[in-house]
Chains A and B, each alone.
Chain A
Amino acid sequence: GAGVSQSPRYKVAKRGQDVALRCDPISGHVSLFWYQQALGQGPEFLTYFQNEAQLDKSGLPSDRFFAERPEGSVSTLKIQRTQQEDSAVYLCASSFLTGTKNMYEQYFGPGTRLTVT
């Protein structure tokens, strides 16, 4: 079956522009995560959805970052007024269940590489 897909794969934005990054999780997956990965670093948690509910957004770096999953499937991560420090790979992951154990068997998309110039 299809895995997690993300679009666009690459995005170049000028400083100050708004961007929207899309994630299509695996069908039926309840949990959805967004991560930010800087070059040479591990993924850093941004936010977590259980269906359409955003249950944890503690990792969002600033109020310029906003995520939504209105129908409990596709999710969008929006970054307003992009800054150079926002340049990173943004990863989306989904998992089938929400129980503690199964939540950590996450399926990742290929990521969107954002470059802010």
Chain B
Amino acid sequence: LAKTTQPISMDSYEGQEVNITCSHNNIATNDYITWYQQFPSQGPRFIIQGYKTKVTNEVASLFIPADRKSSTLSLPRVSLSDTAVYYCLSAGGFKTIFGAGTRLFVKA
């Protein structure tokens, strides 16, 4: 099963760009890379998804190199409200595997 590795925690300041990198060491050919955000006492919220190269939406950008062994979630100009846990997933079947996530703390 696909397994991901990401930093346990990160700190940032308001207005900075934050990049969270995830390793997808045994990603399969059919796997997509997906990122979720979770606030306390809420379910995770879908942020962005990609297969390769770069994907951008109104919230974030996702960079995936050619070998797809890693991915980087980029959050432009974070605010205090971006303090949350961020999960990266690589999955291609029914069984969606979440890791422990990266706890991002944004300071004023």
Chain A residues packing against B (C-beta within 8 Å): 4, 33, 35, 40-45, 48, 55-56, 58-59, 91, 93, 100-101, 103-111
Q: Which of A45, A48, A109 contacts B43 (CB 8 A)?
A: A109
Report which of B43, B46, B92 forms a contact with A100, defined as CB distance below 8 A: B92
The residues of B with any CB-CB pair to A shorter than 8 Å are 30, 32, 34, 41-46, 49, 51, 85, 87, 89, 91-101
The answer to whether B100 touches A42 (Cβ under 8 A) is: yes
Other than A105-B49, A106-B46, give 4 A-B pairs with Cβ distance below 8 A. A48-B94, A56-B93, A91-B43, A106-B44
In this complex, the member of B34, B89, B95 whose beta carbon has the largest number of chain A beta carbons within 10 angstroms is B95
Most A CB within 10 A of own CB, among B44, B99, B100: B44
A-B contact count (CB 8 A): 63
**Given contact pairs A101-B49, A105-B49, A108-B44, A56 touches B34 in the complex (Cβ within 8 A):** no
11 CB-based A-B contacts, threshold 8 Å: A4-B43, A40-B100, A55-B94, A58-B95, A91-B44, A100-B92, A101-B32, A104-B46, A104-B96, A106-B46, A106-B96
A42 CA to B45 CA in the complex, in Å?
A: 13
Q: A41-B100, A42-B100 are in contact. Are A105 and B43 (CB under 8 A)?
A: no
**Chain A nearest CB, measured from B90 CB (Å):** 9
- In the complex formed, the residue of A with least CB distance to B30 is A100
Determine whether the beta carbon of A45 is less than 8 Å from that of B45.
no
